[in-house]
Structure 1
Amino acid sequence: MIKNNNPIKQFLKIIIKICFIVLFQFSTTSESSLPKPPPIPVLPIPKSRQISWNIAEMAIFLHFGMNTFTGKEWGKGDVDPLIFNPTLLNATQWVTVAKDFGFKRVLLTAKHHDGFCLWPSKYTDYSVKSSSWRNGYGDVVGELADAARKSGLELGLYLSPWDRHEHCYGETLEYNEYYMGQMTELLTRYGEVTYVFLDGAKGEGEKDMEYFFDDWFSLIHQLQPGASIFTDAGPDTRWVGNENGVAGTTCWSLFNGSAVTIGGDNDRIYTSEGDAFGQDWMPAVCDVSIRTGWFWHESEKPKSAMTLLDLYYKSVGRNCPLLLNVPPNSSGLISDEDIQVLEEFSKLRNSIFSHNFAESALVSASSTRGDSSDSQFAPMNVIEEGLYTYWTPDQEQQSDWTLYLEFQQAITFNVLGLQEPIQMGQRISEFHLDMLDENGKWQHVVSGTTIGYRRLLLFPTVKSHLLRLVIDKSRACPLISHIGIYMDSYSVTQHVSDTHNKSKFIDNFVFRRTAYNQSRSASI
């Protein structure tokens, strides 16, 4: 028999053998070594425009118009437009104040209930074009839009559905056409509008007047697809149920819009707290004025910076953007006393939240999704800013969801800040923070319910070397995108008394590694 010594065939045989070996090894590779994909989002989840509104956190509301000059809160639409003459009006000043002190959006009352329009609408003469300001050629909306665009701030507009001047108000079809015509002007003349604020206000004798809200919403989203719409019942953001700037200590972005009506007598607890079983993503908004009234009145003085800080904890710190009204005065400027308060408020926030102790901590967890070497879901993600990096526990672990923060030295603090990656749905319904005492035992520090985009909890000052955050209940596998540990040296005595639990907390001690290891082993 003649042997086949063809070198080409021999080479091909070798290549085929190598391929079989590689395929066999690949097929036998453990599935667990492959990187895990992110967990499935838990519905409902926010639209991009709703996420943008949460990220903004704070906006300045600018109530300005005829009421600024008459001293009224609700005008009747019967005042001569010549009275409107803010001789020093400077929209750039409004925007500069907002930007310098940490506000990302400005929202203007383009038309309030009296029907007077702060832009030259072609549908009515009751507007700036009939005033003595700028000789009738002024446009407050236009000047604010230009100033906001140049400074990088987002623009929002309020167009009152109730119009006490317009003769066709009360005629449902005619007025809805009129209203949509004015809305079209506002949303096509001034560039990007990111927020449209509406309500269901009506006169006592106008109960039969119907607002075509669904048509309005469709028009707004057609002309400004990125704009979030506010009413009592959404569709994008909802009213928190009061004008005190305070959200519920439990506050879900989940909601059932069908359970409330715009302008109706809604359950204030429901609108404040939301609904853990809600089918709609509809975060609440906290609106409040820096003064007693919504329009500027010379006799009124602004709230203190400490009061605003308290409101910040109770709005932004409870998963609700803060819409703070700062009304320009009759000269057309934000008053000096208001600016001083806003500056102090900004300094307080920066002093407290500019230093996050957690950034220096060694972060570990009871479990992590996927391979321990995969940083995609690692515990250390929680010290990074932003929604899109987060810690994810092992989905198979159904109850023990714990993060540990270990510090080289004991830290003194009294504020806990938490964030969930809301693009994955709002999940957590109960959590608590513990600290380790000098005897190696865990002591309770503070508990909370919902988190959402941001949660801030203020409590008696404590000092510790080792902390653990325990997620007690969650709608699905819990996710944490950020942890903040802060010291507020200004407002703690106004919020809580530390006399009840003071004996629990140790001022000076050094934790032993053995106590730390024993406590972790026992808890895990």
Structure 2
Amino acid sequence: MSNSASTPDWVKAAAQIVPSERQVRWQEMELYAFVHFTVNTFTDREWGLGSEDPQIFNPTDLDARQWVEVCKSAGMTGLILTCKHHDGFCLWPSKYTDHTVAASPWRSGRGDLVKEVADACREGGLKFGIYLSPWDRHERSYGDSDVYNEFFLHQLRELLTNYGEVFCVWFDGACGEGPNGKKQVYDWDAYYALIRELQPEAVISVCGPDVRWCGNEAGHTRPSEWSVVPAYLQDNEKIQKESQQVDDGTFASRMDTQDIDLGSRDVIRGQRDLIWYPAEVNTSIRPGWFYHASEDELVKSVDELMRIYYGSVGGNANFLLNLPPDKRGRIHETDAERLQALGDRLRSIFRHNLAKPAIIQASETADELYAASAILSDDPHSYWRPREGTEQAWLEIDLREEATFDHVVLMEHIRSGQRIERFTLEARRQGSEEWTELCNGTVVGYKRICRFAPVTARWIRLTIHESRWYPTLSRIGIYMSEQEEGLADGKS
């Protein structure tokens, strides 16, 4: 076992980087929805030009409550609405442009879709978030930076003051030339300040200081997703030369190989400024972000969605899944059925924690306050930890009798930082002295879901081979599901 004297100061410093409470609350949401809906839905485009006639926006059977019920069927906790996409068409009657639902025939020009969705979310128990595109292809002041930034702040203020509590403001970095041929310079600091003033509990995502983009829109996930990363990553998506400017289909799957490792010791050594900047994985249930009838047969399967879920929620990231309403203003039946099936699958797997009656032993414990038994508590503030400087440790779980299982869920106490760097899970049958490896992995963070072929055993051992200063563990869950072909690989 190592001791505090052998732990470098820079490792101790990294171990003590912790999330804000707003970041903790966001991480606990795990799975939530994106809803892309605008004039593009009616033009069959992914990007609008900004010149679309508002008269084309006329959903015939729009029902925000249906959207909410579909989300809830999947176990989702929130919904982020694209209040304005790049085309500049506003789903609320903004006072600062005539390019809004007020100029459409929908609800006879008296509709406010942002209000309908926000109200439906509150009624249904979902958190509500907003997406507001900084790029506006309709607004003539775009490219005249000072004037446009003032316009954008006015619209942002409308959304942050008229629709109740917002859990997230989601920005992307798309940036094009204005109609006057000028490049718009976004005043990110002013945007952030207004959000902190009006919605201090909201996380600011992607082009923001609270939540980091995973690096692609295809649902790809990293094998080791660190929440503690160099501070310069906050600026990556705001650099205009790297922003999305052309809808060419390549941006969605971009993932640079040098971005695979963002927070290991090799990366953070020598970095003076580290921050808590957790990742979000965003992808669409269909190939496109907006509804296209031609994609009705291309909706992701439950197995595909589960793979992304395991890589994101099960890999220390959150999962933002896009559900595009059709021209009626409803989530299509195929998508709704797929979401129900996803929720049913998740509920069937995680319905019963076999660890609840277990007896827990640990190689050592700091004191009674951090006893190993804390990992079976429902108190989110309870956790196990060894003494400072103990970078290797083990926990042994006695299920009291043999059980068959194929999932183990590990959770660190992230309010104390992200510390575990490498671990192994093993199992042992009653009457045997041999331990069988189930899986091995690197980071745990908020949640790590380990999957493997079904095994029958009485004892499970978690060995932490490497950690920063000392490890923590807040929860353990042991579950059995019907085996899904190709999903259990022995690596977590």
TM-score where L is the length of structure 2: 0.88
Matches within 5 A, 1:200-279: 200-203=173-176, 208-232=183-207, 234-259=208-233, 260-264=235-239, 265=242, 268-269=256-257, 273-276=261-264, 277=268, 279=274
8 Å contact kept, 1:283–1:320: yes
Please name the residue that 2:8 is paired with.
none
Residue identity matched to 2:211: T
8 Å contact kept, 1:41–1:424: no
Distance 1:497 1:313, change over 3 A: closer
Matches within 5 A, 1:84-233: 84-203=57-176, 208-232=183-207
Partner secondary structure for residue 317 of structure 2: coil
Distance 2:455 2:177 in 1: 54
Residue identity matched to 1:319: N
Q: CA deviation at 1:207?
A: 7.3
8 Å contact kept, 1:241–1:272: no
Matching residue within 333, 352, 357 for 1:360? 357
8 Å contact kept, 2:280–2:318: yes
What is the aligned-residue RMSD (CA, Å)?
A: 2.1
Distance 1:340 1:149 in 2: 23
- More displaced 10-residue stretch of structure 1: 271-280 or 464-473: 271-280
Distance 1:273 1:324 in 2: 24
Residue identity matched to 2:263: D
Does 1:280 pair with 2:275? yes
The Cα offsets for residues 386-426 of structure 1, whole Å up to 9 and x where unpaired, read as 53111122336x25411101123222222221001111111
Q: CA deviation at 1:156?
A: 0.5
8 Å contact kept, 1:235–1:257: no
Distance 2:320 2:237 in 1: 19
Please name the residue that 2:24 is paired with.
51
Distance 1:40 1:355, change over 3 A: farther
Residue identity matched to 2:424: H
Distance 1:121 1:272, change over 3 A: farther
Q: CA deviation at 1:274?
A: 3.1
Please name the residue that 2:311 is paired with.
314
Q: CA deviation at 1:295?
A: 0.4
Distance 1:143 1:78 in 2: 26
8 Å contact kept, 2:177–2:183: no
The Cα offsets for residues 470-505 of structure 1, whole Å up to 9 and x where unpaired, read as 1111112111000111223242x222468x9xxxxx
Partner secondary structure for residue 321 of structure 1: strand
Q: CA deviation at 1:67?
A: 0.6
Distance 2:182 2:423 in 1: 45
8 Å contact kept, 1:240–1:272: no
Residue identity matched to 1:179: F
Please name the residue that 1:408 is paired with.
400
Partner secondary structure for residue 293 of structure 2: coil
Residue identity matched to 2:133: S
Matches within 5 A, 1:341-352: 341-352=338-349
8 Å contact kept, 2:204–2:210: yes
Please name the residue that 1:484 is paired with.
477
Please name the residue that 1:384 is paired with.
377
Please name the residue that 1:430 is paired with.
422
Please name the residue that 1:16 is paired with.
none
Q: CA deviation at 1:275?
A: 1.7
Partner secondary structure for residue 486 of structure 2: helix
Distance 1:320 1:270, change over 3 A: farther
8 Å contact kept, 2:428–2:434: yes
Partner secondary structure for residue 157 of structure 1: strand
Please name the residue that 1:455 is paired with.
448
Matching residue within 314, 320, 324 for 2:321? 324
Distance 1:399 1:120, change over 3 A: closer
Which consecutive residues of structure 1, in runs of 5 or more, have no partner in the other structure?
1-38, 501-524
Distance 1:207 1:250, change over 3 A: farther
Does 1:495 pair with 2:490? no
Q: CA deviation at 1:204?
A: 5.9
